[in-house]
Amino acid sequence: MSATAPDFDSFDLVNPKDYAEHGYPHHLWDWLRANDPVHWYDGSGGDPFWVITKHADITAIGKLPEQFISGPLLVQSHLPIPKERMEFPRTLIQLDPPKHGVYRRLISKRFTPRALKRFHHDIEEIGKEIVDDLLARGSEGECDFVDSISAPLPIAVIAWMLGLPKQDWGRLFDWTNRIIGAQDPAFRTEGKTPDEAAQETMVELFTYFTELAEEKRKKPADDLVSLFTQMEVDGEKLPHMDIMTWCLIIVIAGNETTRNATTGGMLAFIENREELRKLQADEGLLPSAVEEIVRWTAPIIHFGRTATEDFELRGKTIQAGQSVALFYPSANRDEDVFEAPGEFRIERNPNRHLGFGVGEHFCLGAHLARLEMEVAYKYLLPRIEDVELTGPVDRLHSSLVGGIKHLPIRYKLRES
């Protein structure tokens, strides 16, 4: 491997446009892991920060939530970060110890595999209905896999878990697109900067959830919004803004990520036909296949932390107050951890990927995401006789979520 520093002018690690145009820059991350795994990045138009690419280093930082806090800056940018963004109310993912643990414990029991068992049947029904809609179109056809399968499923599940009436489920789709895809020309609002547009959408979302929370207070049900209105810390009900940020984090964190893992998994099966055939022959491989899909797709590109004290890492000093960015997709291809990391292998075991993060902020919805993906594939994949791309993969402008906006496919189904 070359020791010459790569050309970050041709790909800026935090520029949304570069991810839309080229997909993940694995060649750069490979180089960084091998040559400069703790790399000071100041070539972008935004504030400089440390790029962390090794599995072991991301794990170490993720497990030190007091030395590396999430609150001040969770997402790096290729532009100077506007002050208003930092002042926006913090959701769970931006809280730090000790408040983070207190808040997370308020709902973590709802997301354990045991608790989710209660919802298996309903989630299966939601998934089956969405897949059945596609299968009902005939034994051969074309579709956008995102529109037909991978976007509606997580939206429906999250909307149902939150307790939204069915006629409002589509609004969630629009809000997440406009917040996560704020940098994308397809979701941009005329006359507004991406930050202004995202904030405007959040205000819309908060207005909606304020009314919904009011209804749930009067008539509680077995759903998350009802739970948010009843939760207490030190004997006091949560302030209204905390209820809103709970709604926001569930809507945002639960949709785009699962959507893109499901889409990226389909693309991986199209590009690795023998792995598709293996799974079709043995449904028991589904759990390890889903794990490999999360490793392979790693839908979260990076999350940031801020050092609270000087920290030595591989001979470099990360100074108090400096930011780091944890590149999860790079950790998932780390040669020190994975055999043949550049191969998509659905039987991979062990699979200690960091697609769901690590440590204090490990994904709260990991079990739910696994379940949703299993449901999507379980009903669809056994029926696929043939599948191919009919056009280019249309990627999202984002350096946070590795998104696929459209995956046009042609498919041929087997008799059930």
Give the binding site for ligand HEM (CB under 6 A). 70, 92-93, 104, 249-250, 253-254, 257-258, 261, 294, 299-300, 303, 328, 355-357, 361, 363-365, 368-369
Assigned token pair, 241: 């803004």
We find the least distance from the C-beta atom of residue 87 to ligand HEM, in angstroms, to be: 19
In order of 158, 226, 286, the CA distances from 166 in angstroms are 11, 16, 30
CB of 378 or CB of 410, closer to ligand HEM: 378
CB of 116 or CB of 393, closer to ligand HEM: 116
CB of 189 or CB of 351, closer to ligand HEM: 351
CB of 8 or CB of 311, closer to ligand HEM: 311
CB of 354 or CB of 384, closer to ligand HEM: 354
We find the least distance from the C-beta atom of residue 308 to ligand HEM, in angstroms, to be: 16
Tabulate helix, strand, coil % of the chain (nearest 5): 50, 15, 35
Q: Where are the beta strands (DSSP E) in 289-399?
A: 302-307, 311-313, 316-318, 323-327, 384-389, 394-395
Which residue has the closest beta carbon to ligand HEM? 365
Amino acid identity, position 374: E
- 387 backbone dihedrals φ, ψ, rounded to 5°: -150, 140
12 DSSP assignment? -
CB of 37 or CB of 365, closer to ligand HEM: 365
Asked if 229 and 223 touch (Cβ cutoff 8 Å), the reply is no
We find the least distance from the C-beta atom of residue 371 to ligand HEM, in angstroms, to be: 9
We find the least distance from the C-beta atom of residue 304 to ligand HEM, in angstroms, to be: 8
We find the least distance from the C-beta atom of residue 311 to ligand HEM, in angstroms, to be: 17
- Residue 130 contacts by C-beta under 8 Å, 6 or more apart in sequence? 148, 149, 152, 153, 156, 376
In order of 18, 228, 232, 246, the CA distances from 238 in angstroms are 41, 8, 6, 10
CB of 99 or CB of 314, closer to ligand HEM: 99
CB of 202 or CB of 369, closer to ligand HEM: 369
Asked if 110 and 227 touch (Cβ cutoff 8 Å), the reply is yes
Q: Which residues face 404 on adjacent strands? A: 395
CB of 265 or CB of 413, closer to ligand HEM: 265
Asked if 394 and 365 touch (Cβ cutoff 8 Å), the reply is no
149 DSSP assignment? I
Q: How many CA atoms lie within 13 Å of 146's alpha carbon, on the beta-carbon side?
A: 21
We find the least distance from the C-beta atom of residue 1 to ligand HEM, in angstroms, to be: 27
Closest CA to 299 of 181, 402, 395: 402
We find the least distance from the C-beta atom of residue 24 to ligand HEM, in angstroms, to be: 14
We find the least distance from the C-beta atom of residue 130 to ligand HEM, in angstroms, to be: 16
We find the least distance from the C-beta atom of residue 94 to ligand HEM, in angstroms, to be: 8
